Structure 1
């Protein structure tokens, strides 16, 4: 088939990496894939530039502004538009399917002629962020595009808040060649880990509060964390937390595998790839119900918990009291969850969805 993905700026974000992975899998399966993206839109006032510099956001923004290398394998089939503008019919080759990946690209795809292919909208998040135009985002969910969500969480949010019922869920997978670990015994002392991210919805504050509370129940508890930035002073990261700033990609699986539990504390996520990354490294997960957590965690490979520090701390203490065999069973179940579904499986499900879909009506 001939499949086109319409992207915003092709950055280093997790969502763009997902598209690049689909493009690679589909290409390897013999499909003709074109990815169309826009150049970066630079629109920063002198005052904002100064504020970013003072607050340290300039460095983080610079990372976000880098173009991903993950689409390089496409060569000239990754088309970058001449300037920041909407996609037009001239930009998109005729094909079997055209897939929007962001609310702005959904508007463009909805206006394309039928010759460009069946129209889809890949929902990687519920994009009601404070910095986006809420009415325009909401309108994108009602456009005549077939909706594919990467998690039941997104599907349910769009169904409940926008009355859109026909949404297929095709979950993300994890690169099991990168994220893998041999069987191991539980650590002594018990070791838990979490991802530090400054964005409020990631709730790093909840993860920290949970391990602080757990430390009273399990005094010798060891804690590992990593993230792109350095936790601000006001975050209050204790010196007994083994923190790794911007670790190399090759080191991240080792950090997951060094832990007996991984904490996923987000309030809101589209998917939450650390869920699968940790489980692929045989680390059970304690998670809120954000993102794909409710799709993946079933009580054998971790637990779903209320977004409450005491709930997390209590469960950490329970795991510390588990028999070695009981923890091993939980670790094995986590590994099986992550390794039983691959990106090849996800790509084939996408192909099946395209083939089964008729026309362009929602």
Structure 2
């Protein structure tokens, strides 16, 4: 098949990484894959900082490093400036895939030469740079819809969407995220992803850590993130922080913890859950994204949204487990993360694209892929 993906910006966000993963894997299966995206608008403070460093003030648009740069089998085209993507930006195809609510309108307006129209929905984007007035109408466009997690189905249904909705969950790269069977850390340790994005909930995780440490003074924290520590959300004294880490360092961070804290207020899927679990680390999670579907299988503990006391209690429960009980939880986490692979996900995604394009599959299976 000839497959187009339409992205807003090719950032380093998790949803873009998922698109890159599918693009690469579909290309490896012999499909002709093109990705088209807009340039990234640099924030004014970053432009100012570059100017003060003598790097110039003139460049508003930036073409940063992307997940597509090293994919020799995928064509990635960044248009000259932000605007709706139109027919002239894309090759003719069998299927063209919108990956964000604004791109859904663009894809819907493309000519039939761009193939069947698909909408890959990775989040309830009303809560992320969108509005109900803008997002909900895109759900009702006549596009074939693929959802990244089961929780999105009732969300769309509640807004009157009656189309067939296919669920194709994410997987984890077991080569990049893995660890041998192990016991608890020599010193009780928890970890988190450090971000000032409100919906990521790092403030909740940090508050829960401090509360737990009051009862367990030897408790340690390890975190990773892309930015310098924030003045209004300081890391606890003695915390280990890995800034802009390599993939291998991220894996090592996950594997160095007795529990991973996932306190998101809103999430599309929550890839760090799978990554930590693949590294045999139980997850303490709020019911955001796919957390209930993943952690609910016994590889961690679910807590209430923004419930600092409950998360602190769960931290103490997990790190105080005896080694046998902790290993059992760790093994369940690993089994959940590795029971469903990117090959499985790509099989389901490819079948769904063929279904949208009216092309038969050699082996007709259930289109919706569930755990």
Instruction: Give, in angstroms, the shift of residue 319 of structure 1.
Output: 1.9
Give the TM-score of the pair, scaled to structure 2.
0.86
Q: Which residue of 2 aligns with 1:140?
A: 138
Q: Which residue of 2 aligns with 1:37?
A: 37
Q: Which residue of 1 aligns with 2:312?
A: 313
1:218, 1:320 within 8 Å by CA — same for their partners in 2?
no
Identify, as 1 or 2, the structure richer in helix. Answer: 1
In structure 2, the CA distance between the partners of 1:131 and 1:17, relative to structure 1 (3 Å rule), is: closer
Q: CA separation in 1, counterparts of 2:229 and 2:110?
A: 45
Residue 147 of structure 2 corresponds to residue 179 of structure 1: no
2:268, 2:290 within 8 Å by CA — same for their partners in 1?
yes
1:141, 1:162 within 8 Å by CA — same for their partners in 2?
no
Q: CA separation in 1, counterparts of 2:159 and 2:215?
A: 41
2:27, 2:74 within 8 Å by CA — same for their partners in 1?
no
In structure 2, the CA distance between the partners of 1:314 and 1:352, relative to structure 1 (3 Å rule), is: same
2:68, 2:76 within 8 Å by CA — same for their partners in 1?
no
Q: CA separation in 2, counterparts of 1:50 and 1:89?
A: 36
In structure 2, the CA distance between the partners of 1:254 and 1:352, relative to structure 1 (3 Å rule), is: same
1:295 aligned to which of 251, 273, 293? 293
2:253 aligned to which of 252, 255, 266? 255
Q: Which residue of 1 aligns with 2:7?
A: 7
In structure 2, the CA distance between the partners of 1:218 and 1:40, relative to structure 1 (3 Å rule), is: closer
1:4, 1:34 within 8 Å by CA — same for their partners in 2?
yes
Q: CA separation in 2, counterparts of 1:63 and 1:285?
A: 38
Q: CA separation in 1, counterparts of 2:282 and 2:61?
A: 30
Q: Which residue of 1 aligns with 2:24?
A: 24
2:86, 2:106 within 8 Å by CA — same for their partners in 1?
yes
**CA deviation map 1:66-118 (0-9, x unaligned):** 24152442468323334433222333333322110111211111122333222
Q: Which residue of 2 aligns with 1:350?
A: 349
Q: CA separation in 2, counterparts of 1:313 and 1:53?
A: 44
Q: CA separation in 2, counterparts of 1:93 and 1:353?
A: 21
In structure 2, the CA distance between the partners of 1:40 and 1:196, relative to structure 1 (3 Å rule), is: closer
Q: CA separation in 2, counterparts of 1:18 and 1:327?
A: 31
Q: CA separation in 2, counterparts of 1:203 and 1:300?
A: 22
Q: CA separation in 2, counterparts of 1:290 and 1:88?
A: 34
In structure 2, the CA distance between the partners of 1:326 and 1:53, relative to structure 1 (3 Å rule), is: farther
**CA deviation map 1:13-36 (0-9, x unaligned):** 222221111011011112221212
1:241 aligned to which of 239, 242, 246? 239
In structure 2, the CA distance between the partners of 1:240 and 1:84, relative to structure 1 (3 Å rule), is: closer
Q: CA separation in 1, counterparts of 2:61 and 2:320?
A: 42
Q: CA separation in 2, counterparts of 1:145 and 1:34?
A: 19
Residue 277 of structure 2 corresponds to residue 279 of structure 1: yes
Q: CA separation in 1, counterparts of 2:117 and 2:174?
A: 31
In structure 2, the CA distance between the partners of 1:245 and 1:20, relative to structure 1 (3 Å rule), is: same
Q: CA separation in 2, counterparts of 1:17 and 1:182?
A: 25
SS of residue paired to 1:332: helix
1:226, 1:247 within 8 Å by CA — same for their partners in 2?
yes
Residue 253 of structure 2 corresponds to residue 267 of structure 1: no
Q: Which residue of 2 aligns with 1:103?
A: 101
SS of residue paired to 1:138: helix
Q: Flag as ranges the 4+ runs of structure 1 deviating above 4 A.
A: 47-54, 62-65
Q: CA separation in 2, counterparts of 1:184 and 1:276?
A: 17
2:35, 2:74 within 8 Å by CA — same for their partners in 1?
no
Structure 1: 5+ residue stretches without partners: 55-61
Q: CA separation in 2, counterparts of 1:63 and 1:329?
A: 50
**CA deviation map 1:10-64 (0-9, x unaligned):** 222222221111011011112221212233356x77x99669999xxxxxxx998
Structure 2: 5+ residue stretches without partners: 53-59, 359-371
Give the TM-score of the pair, scaled to structure 1.
0.88
Q: How many residues align?
A: 350
Q: Which residue of 2 aligns with 1:225?
A: 223
